[in-house]
Structure 1
Amino acid sequence: NCNPETVSTDYDTSSRLYFEPLTLEDVLEVYHAERAAGPIAGVIVQLGGQTPLGLAQALKDEGLPVVGTSPEAIHLAEDRGAFGRVMHEAQLPAPKFGTAYSAAEALEVAREIGYPVLVRPSYVLGGRGMQIVYDDQTLTDYVTRAALASPEHPILVDRFLDDAIEIDVDVLYDGEEMYVGAIMEHIEEAGIHSGDSSCVLPPVTLGRAEIDRVRESTRRLAQGIGVRGLMNVQFALAQDILYVLEANPRASRTVPFVAKATGVQVAKAAARIMMGATIASLRTEGLLPVQGDGASLPIEAGTAVKEAVLPFKRFVTQDGEFVDTILGPEMRSTGEVMGLADDFGTAFAKSQLAAFGGLPTQGTVFISVANRHKRAMIFPCKRLADLGFRILATEGTADVLRRNGVRVEAVRKHSEGRGPDGEPTIVDLILAGEVDMVVNTPTSQEARADGYTIRTATTSMDKPIITTVQQLAAAVQGIEALGDHVVRVMSLQEHAERLARHGAHAAE
């Protein structure tokens, strides 16, 4: 592990620690040092993120015993063509995609697939360089500006699924039986990097039939790839079609969250399976529940929400400005927090408290959303007004809210400047401390500068900023929960005891 900080609080996690880069040369040196101390049963590559997967074949070629999912099986999931064949055999749909080696080819692929598209360089980590593109000109600018397309480094063009629900799944597979660690529903729409998005366990809007479809699709993938140990799958549910976005034959960043939320030592169970144990034997030992799995948690076990920590105030551009808070396919979070409660609203409110100081329970909220989001904002905004919040909005958003019976005050945009009688702009009001929460979703190109100024002003004042309508709906539930009762702190040990009680009750 080349980052000592990740183990500073858990120094007894292993017998020895090597703080070295994850390169083939360094891993081989560690292997030789360990072999001198005694026999080595195997090398696990599934618990270190994406980088170790890329070393798997080379380690095997050097004679190291790679345990769990084989390098050949890893290739089936990592190589786009090979994974496409696995998907075809499993009869699972995926968004249309293509590969381009020039701007002209990218345009041809995008027109065939249909806008919007997600473009990215091949073999990227953390979503770096990804962009959602809505027209020919922006796509041409992307390819030309980044100088990304070449025979050695093509760009990938994927159909972007608008207004889709993203679903994260962590499973264990032993070759015969599958254990679902968790099925998690993202709060934000598909297209935001999973490391930056909030997610909830158990899912709050997915029905039993949809969960069964997710379970069966995941089983087919695990079987088709040849997984032995952990696998993470990301799905998008759009217009009742369950699309596979990607399958990673490794632990995802959600595994620690899943382990704490379900009370199951997922990583330990995965390591045992990699070394030859079966899911049935681990159930007998008590490492996994005797029956059921993380997808069938009883409602009495409560709800867990994972939220990303996005310390935008710590990052500034070369011009000294704060970076934009808009979430997208490129990952920006520096950590994660978790909220646990009996209901979703309270769990979400707790996660926001841990991530950035919490949601307001009174005061003033500013609303400015893109045209495509105006219908979805009406009921959350009406509820905020009913809860006693003062609602401010730009003229277009204010008109829609008024027509739907919401009390709202129109304010001037930053680009309009102050009024003839000195009426302040929304940025003036934010910087004066008169706004307690801002809701601003990305809008048209000409209005984008206004949005950026609003969001950076909010960041400078340490106020909550919401950039998706899905997050707005969740925030309203959180605010309602904060007003209904006193939020109680629950330790992980208490949560684990509650899980054990309800698990035993379910088994009976």
Structure 2
Amino acid sequence: VSDRLYFEPLAPEYVLSVLAKEKPDGVMVQFGGQSAIKLAKPVADAGYPVLGTQPKQIHRAEDRKEFDALLGELGIPRPAGGTAFTTAEAVATAEKLGYPVLVRPSYVLGGQGMEIAYQSRDVAEYMEIITRVKQEHPVLIDKYITGREIEVDAVCDGEDILIPGIMEHIERTGIHSGDSISVYPAVNVSPAVIDTVVDYTRKLALALEIKGLINIQFIEHREEVFVIEVNPRASRTVPYLSKVTGIPIIALATRVMLGEKLKDLGYGTGLYPAKNLVAVKVPVFSLDKLPLVEVSLGPEMKSTGEVLGVAGDLPEALYKGLLAAGCNFPEQGTVLVTVADVYKEEAVEVAREFAALGFKLLATQGTARALESRGVPVQVINKLSQPSYNIGDALREGVINIIVNTPTHGRIPQRDGFRLRRMAVESSVPCFTSLDTVKAFLSSLRLYRQGKKPGIVCLNDLS
């Protein structure tokens, strides 16, 4: 328990006023998220010692050019990228990298303003919006690699590292890590990829002279590992990982920042042995309380909380996590499937699974054609913008029980997809905007249909 607690904004003038009054021997900036580590330099410039990772190394991890140079020195790959100030520069950079690309402003938190562009028109539309305000920093453009996202939290003392656990995300890259379903341990990742992740984590932590916490996000694509970003601070996954591994990550990091060594703290070094369980962190959303907010998952974070599901295997852990997050498991009913062209082939197998479980299928014309051509029974229904009996009528009558809808141009409220997703939320109908999430839901639904009662895991048994 703290001796004194200040409720003030994490801005230099407020924090420096507190420090001037308290006159501390040192300041820890790693536990307050992105806003706190931005204060490292102002705190150091004011003459207060920053405990743990130093401001120069924090800047090295945060600055794109310096970080890219470091990755080059270490021989660690990252997705190719570039920068642009104008629409012409952005389109040229995107075409050079090859579509799809991820476009985003510099220095953002929570994925704010990020978008995946699949063609030059998408980039031009994005730049038209972003350049309405004069840009002090360039727009960042990265090659978008479709793969599995892997996340690591580690403690480093400048000489050794301790990796409490490695997590994988259910949703593929392009979904913000805070909105993804996270699984510990990474049960679907090969031992070779795990070894590479551990190697890259060690190299980066030591090269950045980390003392305390580091969070690294990776992409695995066909057994090749790329670094997405490095955060020299505590991340949102630390409480989750601490709870399920029994390792007091914050306590260890604090002691390391005060000068102690990992080898003396009783938890060893390297990758900590995985527990004999599966723990799933599932995001919780409050979209029903936020009218006119886009529902679909993407690079910009939308969740407002999270829950934990723990079991002996992945399907049961997913079932418990989804249930705790408020997800309904209909025993029967109708599933509406309407997806963008890029996902139609993948949606066929998802629809086939729903049909095998006894659900009736509705689909808009384009998606219905794709399903029928592969022998999946489906009934065509009109889009919201089309006359006669359409999706809106079916939702109002309670005919539709589950919606699978991947967005195309989700940022425009007048479009059919945006309106459909909002209607689903307001009608309390489960609406999945990522096919990876649907597949996780289906594995849980099969378990639910089998009548298996989920077991109880005591939190005291996890430590």
Range class of TM-score, shorter chain: over 0.9
Distance 1:354 1:278 in 2: 39
Map 1:21-170 → 2, pairs under 5 A:
21-35=9-23, 40-147=24-131, 152-161=136-145, 163-170=146-153
CA RMSD of aligned residues (A): 2.3
State the alpha-carbon separation in 2 of the partners of residues 315 and 79 from structure 1.
Answer: 34
Structure 2 Cα separation of the partners of residues 292 and 405 of structure 1:
50
Q: Distance in 1 between matches of 2:191 and 2:225?
A: 14
CA deviation digits over 1:87-141, x for unaligned, max 9?
0111011111112222222222222222222222211122222222222233223
> Are 1:442 and 1:448, in contact at CA under 8 Å, matched by a contact in 2?
no
Matches within 5 A, 1:42-441: 42-147=26-131, 152-161=136-145, 163-283=146-266, 288=267, 293-294=271-272, 296-298=273-275, 301-317=276-292, 323-418=293-388, 424-441=389-406
Query: Are the counterparts in 1 of residues 263 and 269 from structure 2 also a CA contact under 8 Å?
Result: no
**How far is 1:70 from its partner?**
0.7
Paired position in structure 2 for 1:481: 447
Inter-partner Cα distance in structure 1 for 2:415 and 2:37? 41
- Contact 1:121-1:148 within 8 A present in 2 as well: no
Decide which moves more: 274-283 or 401-410: 401-410
The CA deviation string for residues 185-242 of structure 1, in whole angstroms up to 9 with x for no partner, is 1111111111122111112321111111111111111111111111011111223321
**Partner SS for 1:415:** coil
Question: Mean alpha-carbon deviation: is it higher for 347-356 or for 57-66?
Answer: 347-356
1:3 alignment counterpart: none
- CA distance in 1: counterparts of 2:417 and 2:396, whole angstroms: 15
Please state whether the residue corresponding to 2:325 is helix, strand or coil: helix
Q: What is the CA-CA distance between 1:337 and the residue it aligns to?
A: 1.5
The one of 417, 425, 433 aligned to 1:451: 417
Letter in 2 for 1:212: D
**Structure 1: runs of 5 or more not aligned:** 1-12, 318-322, 419-423, 501-508
C-alpha distance 334-444 of structure 1, shift in aligned 2 (>3 A): closer
- Take 1:221 and 1:150, find their aligned partners in 2: how far apart are those partners? 35
Separation of aligned partners in 1, 2:48 and 2:259: 17
* 2:454 paired with 1:466: no
Tell me: CA distance 1:106–1:397, structure 2 relative to 1, closer, same or farther (3 Å).
closer
Distance 1:453 1:152, change over 3 A: closer
The amino acid across from 1:89 in the alignment is: E
Q: What is the alpha-carbon distance in structure 2 between the residues aligned to residue 139 and residue 408 of structure 1?
A: 35
Greater helix content: 1
More displaced stretch, 302-311 vs 101-110? 101-110
The alignment-based identity, stated in percent, is 41
Is the CA contact 2:105–2:113 (under 8 Å) kept in the aligned structure 1? yes
1:380 to partner: Cα distance: 3.1
Q: Is contact 1:398–1:410 with CA below 8 Å preserved after alignment? A: yes
Unaligned 5+ segments in structure 2 are: none
CA drift at 1:481 = 1.6
CA distance in 2, matches of 1:95, 1:442: 24
Distance 1:428 1:151 in 2: 44
The alignment of Structure 1 onto Structure 2 pairs a total of residues equal to 462
| Residue 292 (structure 1) shift | 7.2
The one-letter amino acid paired with 1:32 is A
Structure 2 vs 1, CA of residues 172 and 403 (structure 1 numbering), >3 Å: closer, same or farther? same
- State the AA in 1 paired with 2:435: V
